[in-house]
Amino acid sequence: MDKITQIKQLVSEINRLHREFSHDYFEAGKIEKINLSRTIVHVPVPHLYTYRLTLHESINDYLMMANIDIKYFYRVKTRESIDDKIARFSIREDQYPVNNWLNDIFGARIVLNAHDIKLVMDCLDDWQDALSLKNWYLRNKEGYRGLHIYFKNKTNFYFPWELQIWDEEDLQSNIQNHEKFKRNFINA
């Protein structure tokens, strides 16, 4: 299987797991459905924590059943990281819907070479409808570079999930920037 086929398979599987997990918990009534296209004032923080804890406790059950043939890494955002993000976005003058900025409670990451990343970027328009992608963008800010792809399954009641694709040349600087800018709550 070639690299792009493996990446497409990964994207497809993350989306399938997102859909299945969200269905199993939101549609079954285990977690209340709240419209996440509203601002944080209208989305109770305990709802975020319940989702995060449920995801943390059950994600491996879903990942073990996945058809993924490429090395990847994942994490479930910590409660402290969620609190940090809420604090930063709550004080902004321009408020955004929760599902636009709390779009990475589950995040997966792969590391590729620049050529393969370019090939993936060339495929994303074709994959958007076929794989139910929300959106994607290439972030290049403050020494951090990565392609971010988001899964939402066309509903405002499911928290989006994220896949980051890093260039192997940026690996060390991205790790350093994550430590510097994304984990500052650890030193508090």
Task: Give mean pLDDT, residues 32-51.
Answer: 96
Q: What one-character DSSP code corresponds to residue 146?
A: E
Domain parsing of the chain, residue ranges: 3-187
Supply the pLDDT for residue 179: 76
Supply the pLDDT for residue 129: 87
156-188: pLDDT as tens digits: 999 999 999 999 999 999 998 877 766 665 655
Architecture of the domain delimited by 3-187: 2-Layer Sandwich (3.30)
Q: Is the pLDDT at 48 greater than 90, yes or no?
A: yes
- The share of the chain scoring above pLDDT 70, in percent, equals 96
74-113: pLDDT as tens digits: 999 999 999 999 999 999 989 999 999 999 999 999 999 9
Q: Which residues contact 46 (CB under 8 A, 6 or more apart)?
A: none
- The share of the chain scoring above pLDDT 90, in percent, equals 85
Q: Is the pLDDT at 146 greater than 70, yes or no?
A: yes
Q: How many residues does the chain have?
A: 188
Q: Which residues contact 75 (CB under 8 A, 6 or more apart)?
A: 106, 107
Cα distance between residue 25 and residue 30, in whole Å: 5
Task: Give mean pLDDT, residues 39-56.
Answer: 97
